[in-house]
Every structure is written in C-alpha cells, then in structure tokens.
C-alpha cells in the first residue's frame, strides 16, 4: 500500500480514527506522518481514545509502533501523585485532581475529541468548592439578559435587572474582601 499523502513511499503508519462513530482510516509513510502531525502525540491520543472506548480496531494502531522521538511534553509529571504525562496517555486516567492543572496545556485536544469539541464545564457548581462561582455565573446570566432587554427596548424591565446586577456585584466585592 502506498502512502496516501505523497503517493511515493510505502505506507507504514496506519491509523483508524473514530469520532462519534465516524470511522476514517489513514495510511501514510513515516515522513508524511510526522509532517502532517500524526506523530507521537496523536498516536498516544488515539491509543488513549481507543482504550477509553474499547474500540475493536484499537489493535490497528499497534502495528505502526509510535515514532520514538520523545518530546519534552511526555516528561511532565504531576507534583502531587507523581504520574507522568506519558503514563496518563498510556492508562487513559488521571492520578489525582492536581493532574488536571499539571497537564492543562495538553488537555484541550483530548477533551475536544472525547466531548464533541467541548473543553469547558457548563453544568452544576458545588456549593462548597465552587466558591463565589455561583454568584459570578448569575451576574453573567443577568448581564446577558440585560442586553436582550435593551435590544427589545424593554427599559423598565432592564432597569430592574441592572439593579439586581449592582446588588450582586456588591455582594461579590464584599465576599472577596471578606475572604482576604
């Protein structure tokens, strides 16, 4: 099989990508794999994903052993639990909450793939650990509402919302002051 990128060298790197059930196969030579970014990180990423979802074709990744050049990213290590980035990609699991901070720079592409392009939380906020996030989210929502009301020229309602925002802002300032 020839490389589908350069159509010259034989394809030695075979990838199966599955995104939300859509399966695409990539057959390229080592050089093109590096150029097109099918390098180390995307191998471990795919490896990780296939491990996560128990895809049958996980084995199809196996034959092209990942190019062995190890970028420094692989040496990141979580100061709390000691897990390295490489271990994380191999087992597909974080070791502790701190890992999320340690590997933060590397996580967006992973989350995007797993969660259909999403990288940030948009749901429930716990009462204790959430701090004043509740208040801040509420202010955000009210500001959004305020814009909508102004656009619709519902000024009376808008004035009410504006006052609510002021009150919340004050509350926020007080809380932040109180926390030191």
Chain residues binding other proteins by CB under 8 A are: 20-21, 48, 52-54, 80-81, 83, 91-97, 100-101, 107, 110-111, 114-130, 133
Task: State how far the Cα of 130 lies from the Cα of 62, in Å rounded to an integer.
Answer: 42
3-state secondary structure 105-136: HHHHHHHHHHCCCCCCCCCCCCCCCCCCHHHH
CB of 124 to other proteins, least distance (A): 6
Cβ closer to other proteins: 27 or 113?
Answer: 113
Cβ closer to other proteins: 31 or 132?
Answer: 132
Q: Is 54 helix (H, G, I), strand (E, B) or coil?
A: coil
CB of 10 to other proteins, least distance (A): 33
Angle 111-121-137 from CA coordinates, rounded to 5°: 155
Cβ closer to other proteins: 74 or 158?
Answer: 74
Task: State how far the Cα of 15 lies from the Cα of 32, in Å rounded to an integer.
Answer: 13
Cβ closer to other proteins: 20 or 63?
Answer: 20
Torsion on CA atoms 101, 103, 104, 105, rounded to nearest 10? 150
Cβ closer to other proteins: 6 or 91?
Answer: 91
CB of 52 to other proteins, least distance (A): 5
Angle 75-29-5 from CA coordinates, rounded to 5°: 115
CB of 75 to other proteins, least distance (A): 18
CB of 43 to other proteins, least distance (A): 17
């Amino acid at each position: 099989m020839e490389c589908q990128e350069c159509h010259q060298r034989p394809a030695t790197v075979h990838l199966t990508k599955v995104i939300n059930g859509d399966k695409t196969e990539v057959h390229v030579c080592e050089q093109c794999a590096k150029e097109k970014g099918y390098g180390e990180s995307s191998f471990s990423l795919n490896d990780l994903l296939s491990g996560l979802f128990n895809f049958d074709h996980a084995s199809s990744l196996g034959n092209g052993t990942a190019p062995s050049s190890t970028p420094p990213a692989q040496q990141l290590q979580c100061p709390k639990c000691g897990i390295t980035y490489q271990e994380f990609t191999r087992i597909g699991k974080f070791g502790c909450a701190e890992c999320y901070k340690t590997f933060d720079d590397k996580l967006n592409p992973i989350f995007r793939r797993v969660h259909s392009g999403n990288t940030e939380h948009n749901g429930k906020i716990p009462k204790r650990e959430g701090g004043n996030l509740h208040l801040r989210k509420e202010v955000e929502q009210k500001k959004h509402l305020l814009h909508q009301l102004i656009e619709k020229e519902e000024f009376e309602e808008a004035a009410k919302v504006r006052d609510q925002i002021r009150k919340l802002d004050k509350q926020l300032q007080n809380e932040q002051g109180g926390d030191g």
